[in-house]
């Protein structure tokens, strides 16, 4: 029985080799990229990665394979190994929960380079072929916040709301540093132009749940929020905003087609620069940085086109002005002079930058009057609850 | 009076028992028809060559040795849950809670892996995991069984709702044990020490799981067909009154069988956590508790046939993933093809049991 099995396996292997070898021989490209996506293009989060991957591969002329709907479990490791079987020497995974499975495979295949978006462990893992990448999306969120603040100002001036009613709502996925960093920078952007603004936050405890996100939007609107934003991956909240006529700032991509009356602008990470960088390193045999952070200055953080129908007048000019200040370093998003905790200004804060599973704060990240986000590690670690933001679920 | 009655052209009649090859000819024809319809749908909707799509479906399962191992592993896991729900089904007790029972077994295993190291000797962790996952699964099935036996509650709804309780419990513990903070994911448990991981047998990480389920399949076949328990289950399934009349304690059989059903689901959870994934997520069972219902039904509750029906479903699922990768078609397209094929397979059972006869004298005036 064992012999027969062995023979069958051997024959299949030979057959598979013949099949695999045929196209491989004609391919002159040294880089073959394999991408692992948590969902498919129906998720705004994955669509943003899929677009970035396609753009980067086509620009570099790299052959690529996409694997979609790969759960955050052993399936991710299997998918990576199948991609390696297909001849991929560069593997990219897009979801946080893929990380530990990708690292397991990386240990077994030192000749293959692995890049993982949003992960936290590469800079301490000591694996030469495993890397994390992210972007300082808080800069984009801040600019989105500025657009929202201008809209609030317009509503105050027109008498639709009073200055005290300038409350924005935010639907977050998890109370996780990445989300907290995102909504705090958004709020600081709002308050940068509309000082009386406050914010309510509610969590769905899911990255992708159209129903919960819609319910979150209803909850915030009925709680008096006059403008919404979110960090979750479905169209649940935007469609609710469109129905209720509540303006909103989106994430990952434009919603102007589905919500033409209420969509103001969206910030997103453009993953193409990171993918291009990593694949170029593979092609040239150079080392990929263990932990790479793209910024608004390097083109990794972008804003979509502004929807003039919903945005306040002069939004584009104001955003351009502030973006220039951020790029020059003149304006720090997490400037400690602009926010307080229990009425106090922070002068130091120990964050859990090295993810050793201990949750132990290990690095002081406040210096020179601002919180140094995404500098010690690409994945965000700002997890402070600041004054002016109310967590409705607390 | 000249009354006109219109007789329909066809009518449906019950068929006598078919010879085995006739039945299989009908099934074969159904699969052939299914493939033709799939081909037409593929060409019309996507413009892809249907034969290339079929080839991709085949390659999804048999393209490389690794894919074959993954195929076998997926069959084993689906078969395990299917074997678990089958004894209850044979009793006409509709345990739709396989998903939750497996999930709670997975939770118990993960809890042992996380909480026990340092408290008990390392060799004792795996036995503890086995015991806890079996017990957890059994309890999860035992609760609805108790209420069914005692108060005649509807087990279909009860077990179904227990799934949601299990999912939420697992989601809760994913937050309790999360790493890093706030992410609600646990990551690989004991990745450095590998405590509570199944040993790798024969150099193949999935082999042990496959062997365990193969043994379970044989055991279940024997249990259902050659033991007193199996006979009692069959009698209760045929007629509860007959069972009572011949002195079978129906309540006891219901509870006992459901406990067994749940315990094996718990085992499936253990295999998923300790054997392959080494983590816990609310989606770790991946709908197998529900797919198992179909596997079991299609195989007419026969454990040996279930190997083939679970192969069929896993094969189609893997094929769907492959065509999504190869042709850039959405994963849902693979699901459409799976739906078409299942429609024909289930439909073929109709033609095995019934025949369509041309009504004699149809259309004539009488």
Q: B167: how many CB neighbours lie within 10 A of its CB?
A: 17
In a domain, A348, yes or no: no
Residue B188's alpha-carbon distances to A232, B180, B192, in angstroms, are: 24, 12, 9
Interchain pair B183, A176: CB under 8 A: yes
**Tokens representing residue B174 in the block:** 């994913």
Task: Provide, as residue numbers in chain A, all residues whose Cβ is less than 8 Å from the Cβ of B324.
Answer: 40, 67-69
Q: Which domain holds residue A45?
A: 24-136+271-294
Q: Would you state the pLDDT for residue A184?
A: 97
The secondary structure of residue A368, as a DSSP letter, is T
**Residue A301, by phi and psi: left (phi above 0), alpha (psi -120 to 50) or beta?**
beta
List the single residue in A16, A120, A175 with the smallest CB-CB distance to B64: A16
Task: Provide, as residue numbers in chain A, all residues whose Cβ is less than 8 Å from the Cβ of B321.
Answer: 67, 69
Pairing of strands B354-358, B10-14: antiparallel
Among B173, B187, B278, B286, the strongest candidate for a mutation testing the A interface, having the largest count of A CBs within 10 A, is B187
Contacts of A123 (CB under 8 A, 6+ apart): A132, A290, A291, A354, A377
Nearest to A378 by CA among A290, A296, A299: A290
Task: Provide, as residue numbers in chain A, all residues whose Cβ is less than 8 Å from the Cβ of B276.
Answer: 73-74
In a domain, A216, yes or no: no
Task: Provide, as residue numbers in chain A, all residues whose Cβ is less than 8 Å from the Cβ of B184.
Answer: 174, 176, 205
Asked if the model's pLDDT at residue A25 lies above 70, the reply is no
Q: How many structural domains are present in chain A?
A: 1
Asked if the model's pLDDT at residue A19 lies above 50, the reply is no
Contacts of A255 (CB under 8 A, 6+ apart): A235, A238, A263, A266
Q: Would you state the pLDDT for residue A17?
A: 46
Chain A, nearest residue to B192 by Cα = A104
Interchain pair A73, B325: CB under 8 A: no
At A58, which CATH number?
3.40.50.2300
pLDDT band at A95 (very low <50, low <70, confident <90, very high): very high
Contacts of A166 (CB under 8 A, 6+ apart): A152, A155, A156, A194, A196, A197, A198, A226
In a domain, A96, yes or no: yes
Q: Which residues of B touch chain A, with CB atoms under 8 Å apart?
A: 62-68, 70, 171, 175, 179-185, 187-188, 191, 276-279, 281, 283-284, 286, 321, 324-325, 328, 330-331
State the DSSP H helix or E strand holding residue B159, giving kind and residue range, or none if neither. helix B155-176
Contacts of A305 (CB under 8 A, 6+ apart): A254, A256, A265
Report residues of chain B scoring pLDDT below 70.
1-5, 180-182, 361-366
- Say if CB B67 and CB A82 are below 8 A apart: yes
- Residue B201 bridge partners (DSSP): B204
**Tokens representing residue B354 in the block:** 């019934």
Read off the pTM.
0.82
In a domain, A107, yes or no: yes
In a domain, A167, yes or no: no
CA distance A281 to A113: 10
Residue B232's alpha-carbon distances to A116, A263, B116, B239, in angstroms, are: 55, 64, 39, 11
CA distance A41 to chain B (A): 8
CA distance A240 to A308: 20
CA distance A229 to A241: 10
Interchain pair B183, A81: CB under 8 A: no
- Say if CB B182 and CB A175 are below 8 A apart: yes
In a domain, A119, yes or no: yes
* Predicted-assembly ipTM surpassing the 0.95 threshold: no
In a domain, A78, yes or no: yes
Among A1, A5, A13, A82, the strongest candidate for a mutation testing the B interface, having the largest count of B CBs within 10 A, is A82
Interchain pair B188, A85: CB under 8 A: no
Task: Provide, as residue numbers in chain B, all residues whose Cβ is less than 8 Å from the Cβ of A16.
Answer: 63-65
Task: Provide, as residue numbers in chain B, all residues whose Cβ is less than 8 Å from the Cβ of A71.
Answer: 281, 283, 286
In a domain, A109, yes or no: yes
- Say if CB A251 and CB A266 are below 8 A apart: yes
State pLDDT tens for residues A240-287. 999 999 999 999 888 888 899 999 999 999 999 999 999 999 999 899
CA distance A335 to A166: 22
State pLDDT tens for residues B162-192. 999 999 999 999 989 987 666 778 888 998 8
Contacts of B320 (CB under 8 A, 6+ apart): B57, B60, B331, B333, B334, B335, B337, B338
Pairing of strands A263-269, A90-93: unpaired
């Amino acid at each position: 029985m064992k012999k027969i099995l062995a023979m069958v396996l051997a024959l299949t292997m030979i057959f598979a080799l013949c099949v695999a070898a045929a196209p491989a021989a004609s391919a002159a490209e040294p880089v073959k990229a394999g991408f692992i996506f948590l969902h498919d293009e129906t998720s705004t989060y994955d669509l943003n990665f899929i677009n970035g991957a396609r753009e980067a591969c086509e620009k570099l002329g790299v052959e690529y394979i996409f694997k979609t709907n790969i759960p955050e479990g052993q399936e991710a490791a299997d998918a990576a190994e199948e991609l390696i079987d297909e001849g991929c020497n560069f593997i990219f995974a897009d979801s946080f929960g893929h990380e530990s499975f990708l690292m397991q495979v990386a240990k077994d295949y030192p000749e293959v380079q692995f890049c993982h978006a949003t992960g936290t462990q590469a800079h301490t893992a000591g694996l030469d072929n495993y890397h994390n990448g992210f972007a300082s999306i808080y800069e984009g969120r801040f600019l989105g916040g500025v657009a929202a603040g201008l809209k609030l100002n317009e509503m105050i001036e027109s008498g639709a709301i009073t200055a005290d009613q300038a409350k924005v709502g935010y639907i977050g996925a998890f109370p996780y540093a990445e989300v907290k960093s995102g909504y705090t920078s958004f709020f600081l952007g709002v308050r940068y132009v509309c000082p009386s603004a406050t914010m309510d936050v509610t969590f769905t405890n899911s990255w992708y749940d159209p129903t919960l996100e819609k319910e979150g939007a209803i909850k915030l609107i009925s709680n008096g929020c006059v403008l919404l934003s979110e960090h979750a991956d479905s169209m649940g909240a935007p469609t609710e905003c469109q129905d209720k006529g509540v303006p909103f700032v989106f994430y990952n991509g434009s919603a102007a087609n589905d919500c033409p009356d209420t969509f103001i602008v969206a910030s997103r990470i453009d993953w193409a620069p990171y993918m291009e960088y990593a694949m170029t390193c593979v092609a040239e045999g150079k080392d990929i940085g263990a932990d790479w952070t793209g910024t608004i200055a390097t083109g990794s953080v972008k804003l979509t086109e502004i929807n003039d129908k919903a945005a306040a007048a002069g939004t584009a000019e104001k955003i351009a002005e502030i973006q220039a200040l951020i790029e020059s370093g003149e304006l720090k998003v997490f400037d400690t002079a602009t926010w307080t905790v229990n009425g106090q200004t922070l002068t130091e804060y120990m964050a859990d930058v090295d993810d050793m599973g201990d949750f132990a704060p290990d690095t002081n990240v406040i210096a020179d009057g601002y919180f140094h986000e995404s500098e010690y590690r690409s994945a965000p670690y700002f997890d402070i609850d600041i004054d002016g933001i109310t967590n409705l679920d607390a | 009076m000249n009354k006109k009655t219109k007789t329909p052209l066809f009518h449906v009649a019950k068929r006598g028992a078919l010879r085995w090859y006739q039945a299989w000819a009908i099934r074969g024809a159904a699969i052939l028809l299914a493939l033709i319809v799939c081909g037409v749908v593929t060409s019309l909707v996507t413009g892809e060559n249907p034969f290339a799509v079929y080839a991709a479906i085949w390659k999804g399962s048999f393209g490389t040795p690794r894919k074959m191992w993954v195929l076998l592993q997926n069959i084993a896991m689906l078969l395990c849950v299917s074997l678990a729900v089958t004894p209850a089904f044979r009793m006409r007790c509709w345990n739709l809670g396989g998903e939750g029972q497996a999930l709670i077994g997975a939770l118990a295993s993960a809890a042992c892996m996380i909480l026990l190291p340092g408290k008990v000797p390392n060799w004792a962790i795996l036995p503890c995991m086995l015991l806890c996952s079996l017990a957890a699964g059994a309890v999860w099935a035992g609760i609805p069984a108790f209420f069914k036996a005692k108060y005649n509650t509807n087990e279909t709804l009860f077990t179904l709702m227990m799934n949601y309780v299990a999912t939420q419990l697992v989601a809760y513990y994913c937050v309790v044990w999360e790493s890093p903070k706030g992410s609600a994911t646990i990551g690989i448990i004991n990745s450095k020490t590998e405590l509570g991981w199944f040993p790798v047998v024969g150099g193949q990480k999935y082999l042990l799981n496959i062997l365990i389920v193969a043994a379970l399949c044989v055991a279940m076949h024997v249990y259902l067909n050659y033991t007193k328990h199996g006979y009692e289950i069959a009698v209760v399934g045929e007629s509860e009154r007959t069972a009572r009349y011949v002195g079978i304690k129906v309540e006891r059989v219901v509870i006992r069988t459901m406990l067994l059903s749940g315990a094996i689901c718990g085992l499936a959870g253990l295999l998923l956590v300790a054997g392959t994934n080494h983590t816990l997520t609310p989606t770790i069972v991946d709908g197998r508790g529900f797919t198992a219902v179909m596997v079991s039904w299609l195989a007419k509750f026969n454990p040996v046939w279930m190997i083939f029906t679970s192969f069929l479903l896993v094969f189609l699922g893997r094929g769907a993933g492959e065509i999504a990768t190869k042709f850039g078609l959405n994963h849902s397209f693979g699901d459409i093809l799976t739906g078409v094929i299942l429609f024909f397979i289930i439909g073929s059972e109709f033609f095995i049991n019934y025949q369509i006869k041309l009504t004699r004298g149809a259309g004539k005036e009488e």
